[in-house]
């Protein structure tokens, strides 16, 4: 498992999906760049989410709010006071750990040694202490369980302290009155502060939703998990505004809808997805569930669905002194709407897609020899390139025919043209990069207009007419 994960990371780099940020300077920790294929895959996933939310629902619209917001936003939202993780430092190595990560890792070790009960008790105790804000108790728990850090067997721990996860910077020139502003740690607040703008200008009637995708920033203390936990990442969030009292029904609705989306649009198998109910609720929530995906390092959060009550709009009303109310003509009442939020990490979706698609395959050929390939079985609707057009040789007018097919198809979807190397090698490269269809133009094409279409997942081939290619690919990528 661990090996396959390392191979996947290597593959993602080799095929232009994901690079370490500023690699030539040895990288920046927990920051990544998307290459030519990664950027396209990410865009395809973002577009699929946006389409589901805004195009397939009557009552959900999309916005694009700024990353910078008035600093009071983050006081109102609670982030200035409580968006923090409890951390502990090892004085010997100067390494900092998130206490929940440290304790969870220890519990995993216990489990691996067959001490499941001990592990569960440890996690339960941690949850209790953290819920009670008993940081000294958490430190004692770490010491009592003799949790090891990487350098020495007797760790010299600091006290447990809360670290705010928001990045801050200064607005304005140096001579101006400098004021601290934050890089947004979530996209949701940009939606809340625009609730009335959108409701009024869009003549929206409750229930309705506002969707947004965009960058968010958190100063995370990170264990090496590739793009699972980043300091700069992208969220796709939708806030659904509802009548108070209807939150249970809408919470169930979005819980079901979102799981369905991960199966039908993302193509994740049912047994790699699960719900995980939150026992300890955030300050704003009256119910919360995670949709977890089975990553190479276990089931982990992919998306959160939160019943946020009227907490956010209520707080913005209080801090801005502007009414954040809606007049519901059906019941003749004014109220601050309740909110159900769906919040998914785009980068985590990319990682889940790659993890689900990556396969190292070996088989025995008819002549008894061994063969193998590495393939990315990315669903056709999400694959960066849909079709590779491959003339068998560089001569006899085959490239011209291939170019004609390229010109016909490329306005509709991404195509890739290649004439170098043997057909076998070219197929393998297309497998590795995740292109679902290859079409080979050969001498027979000149005679009867037929081509060989080859399917990535099954490696089967069939002969179809040139003028069927575009429709066939379109049918496979349209969801
Ligand atoms: P975690 O418990 O993993 O830290 P969270 O509960 O803080 O996540 P939310 O605040 O609910 O996460 O954010 C919603 C979604 O945003 C998450 O489900 C995840 O997909 C994504 N996300 C959050 N933090 C990060 C990060 N540091 N890197 C990548 N994606 C993230």
Which residues fall in the annotated binding site? 98, 186, 218-220, 228-237, 301-302, 341-348
- Do both 112 and 43 map to the same domain? no
- Do both 129 and 62 map to the same domain? no
- Do both 175 and 100 map to the same domain? no
Residue 362 lies in a domain: no
Residue 143 lies in a domain: yes
Boundary-marking domain end, from 164, 186, 217: 164
Q: What is the ipTM of this complex?
A: 0.97
Residue 256 is part of a domain; what is its CATH number?
A: 3.30.930.10
User: To test ligand 1's pocket by mutation, which of 343, 350, 352, 353 has the most ligand atoms within 8 angstroms of CB?
Assistant: 343
- Do both 124 and 149 map to the same domain? yes
Determine which residue's CA is closest to atom 26 belonging to ligand 1.
229
Ligand 1 centroid to residue 399 C-alpha, Å: 48
User: To test ligand 1's pocket by mutation, which of 165, 183, 304 has the most ligand atoms within 8 angstroms of CB?
Assistant: 304
CA separation for the pair 415, 461 (Å, rounded): 19
- Do both 395 and 306 map to the same domain? no
* Entry pTM: 0.92
- Do both 321 and 230 map to the same domain? yes
Residue 403 is part of a domain; what is its CATH number?
A: 3.40.50.800
- Do both 32 and 116 map to the same domain? no
Q: Which protein residues touch ligand 1 with a CB less than 6 Å away?
A: 186, 218, 220, 229-230, 233, 235, 301-304, 343-345, 347-348
Determine which residue's CA is closest to atom 18 belonging to ligand 1.
303
- Do both 104 and 217 map to the same domain? no
Ligand 1 centroid to residue 281 C-alpha, Å: 15
How far from chain centre, in Å, is Cα 78? 24
Spatial contact of 347 and 235, defined as CB atoms under 8 Å apart: no
Ligand 1 centroid to residue 78 C-alpha, Å: 17
Ligand 1 centroid to residue 362 C-alpha, Å: 36
Question: What's the per-residue H, E or C state across the chain?
Answer: CHHHHHHHHHHHHHCCCEEECCHHHCCCCCCEEECHHHHHHHHHHHHHHHHHHHHCCCCEEECCCCCECCCHHHHHCCHHHHCEEEEEEECCCCEEEEHHHHHHHHHHHHHHCCCHHHHHHHHHHHHHHHHCCCHHHHHHHHHHCCCCCCCCCCCCECCCEEEECCCEEEECCCCCCCEEEEECCCCHHHHHCCHHHHHHHCCCCCCEEEEEEEEEECCCCCCCCHHHCCCEEEEEEEEEEECCCCHHHHHHHHHHHHHHHHHHCCCCCHHHEEEEECCCCCCCCCEEEEEEEEECCEEEEEEEEEEEECHHHHHHHHHHCCCCCEEECCCCEEECCEEEEEEEEHHHHHHHHHHHHEEEEEEECCCCCEEEEEEECCCCCCCCCCEEEEECCCCCCHHHHHHHHHHHHCCCCCEEECCCCCHHHHHHHHHHHCCCEEEEECHHHHHHCEEEEEECCCCCEEEEEHHHHHHHHHHHHCC
Ligand 1 centroid to residue 84 C-alpha, Å: 13
- Do both 151 and 265 map to the same domain? no
CA separation for the pair 183, 169 (Å, rounded): 8
Determine which residue's CA is closest to atom 30 belonging to ligand 1.
345
Mean pLDDT per 10-residue segment, the chain (479 residues): 87 98 94 98 98 97 97 95 90 86 91 93 92 92 82 78 92 68 97 98 98 96 85 98 97 98 98 91 86 95 97 97 97 98 98 98 95 97 98 96 97 97 97 98 97 97 97 95
- State which residues form the domain around 154: 89-164
Determine which residue's CA is closest to atom 31 belonging to ligand 1.
345
- Do both 423 and 332 map to the same domain? no
Residue 369 lies in a domain: no
Residue 83 lies in a domain: no
Which residues fall in the annotated binding site for ATP? 218-220, 228-233, 301-302, 345-348
User: To test ligand 1's pocket by mutation, which of 104, 345, 351 has the most ligand atoms within 8 angstroms of CB?
Assistant: 345
Ligand 1 centroid to residue 345 C-alpha, Å: 6
- Do both 146 and 208 map to the same domain? no
Boundary-marking domain end, from 113, 130, 164: 164
CA separation for the pair 241, 244 (Å, rounded): 9
Residue 24 lies in a domain: yes
- Do both 306 and 342 map to the same domain? yes
Residue 364 lies in a domain: no
Determine which residue's CA is closest to atom 14 belonging to ligand 1.
343
The domain total for the chain is 3
Residue 40 lies in a domain: yes
User: To test ligand 1's pocket by mutation, which of 185, 229, 259, 351 has the most ligand atoms within 8 angstroms of CB?
Assistant: 229
pLDDT of residue 176: 59
Residue 332 lies in a domain: yes
Determine which residue's CA is closest to atom 13 belonging to ligand 1.
343
């Amino acid at each position: 498992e661990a090996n396959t994960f390392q191979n996947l990371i290597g593959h993602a780099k080799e095929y232009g999906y994901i690079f370490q940020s500023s690699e030539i300077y040895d990288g920046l920790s927990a920051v990544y760049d998307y290459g030519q294929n990664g950027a396209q895959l990410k865009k395809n996933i973002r577009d699929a989410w946006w389409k589901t939310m805004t195009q397939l629902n009557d009552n959900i619209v999309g916005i694009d709010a700024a990353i910078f917001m008035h600093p009071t936003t983050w006081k109102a939202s609670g982030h200035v006071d409580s968006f923090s993780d409890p951390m502990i430092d090892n004085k010997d190595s100067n390494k900092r750990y998130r206490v929940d990560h440290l304790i969870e890792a220890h519990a995993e070790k216990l489990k691996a040694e067959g001490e499941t009960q001990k592990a569960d008790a440890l996690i339960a105790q941690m949850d209790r202490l953290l819920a009670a804000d008993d940081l000294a108790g958490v430190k004692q728990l770490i010491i009592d369980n003799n949790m090891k850090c990487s350098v020495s067997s007797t760790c010299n721990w600091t006290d447990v302290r809360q670290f705010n996860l928001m990045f801050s910077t200064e607005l304005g020139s140096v001579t101006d009155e400098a004021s601290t502003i934050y890089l947004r740690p979530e996209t949701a607040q940009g939606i809340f502060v625009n609730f009335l703008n959108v409701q009024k200008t869009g003549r929206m009637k409750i229930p309705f939703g506002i969707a947004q995708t965009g960058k968010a920033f958190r100063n995370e203390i990170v264990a090496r998990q590739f793009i699972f936990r980043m300091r700069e990442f992208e969220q796709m969030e939708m806030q659904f505004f509802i009548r108070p009292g209807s939150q249970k029904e809408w919470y169930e609705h979005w819980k079901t809808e979102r799981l369905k989306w991960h199966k039908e649009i993302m193509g994740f198998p049912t047994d790699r997805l699960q719900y995980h109910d939150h026992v300890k609720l955030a300050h704003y929530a009256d119910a919360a569930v995670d949709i977890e995906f089975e990553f190479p390092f276990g089931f982990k959060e992919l998306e959160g669905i939160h019943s946020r009550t009227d907490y956010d709009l209520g707080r913005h009303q209080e801090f801005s002194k502007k009414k954040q109310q809606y007049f519901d003509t059906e019941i003749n009442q004014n109220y601050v709407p309740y909110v159900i939020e769906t919040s998914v990490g785009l980068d985590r979706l990319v990682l889940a897609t790659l993890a689900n698609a990556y396969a190292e395959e070996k088989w025995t050929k008819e002549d008894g020899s061994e063969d193998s390939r590495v393939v990315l079985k990315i669903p056709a609707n999400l694959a960066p390139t849909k079709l590779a057009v491959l003339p068998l040789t560089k001569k006899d007018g085959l490239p011209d025919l291939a170019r004609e097919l390229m010109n016909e198809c490329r306005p509709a979807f991404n195509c890739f043209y290649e004439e170098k190397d043997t057909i076998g090698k070219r197929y393998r490269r297309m497998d590795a990069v995740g292109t679902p269809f290859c079409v080979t133009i050969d001498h027979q094409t000149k005679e009867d207009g037929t081509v060989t279409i080859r399917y990535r997942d099954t490696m089967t081939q069939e002969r179809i007419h040139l003028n069927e290619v575009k429709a066939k690919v379109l049918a496979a990528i349209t969801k």
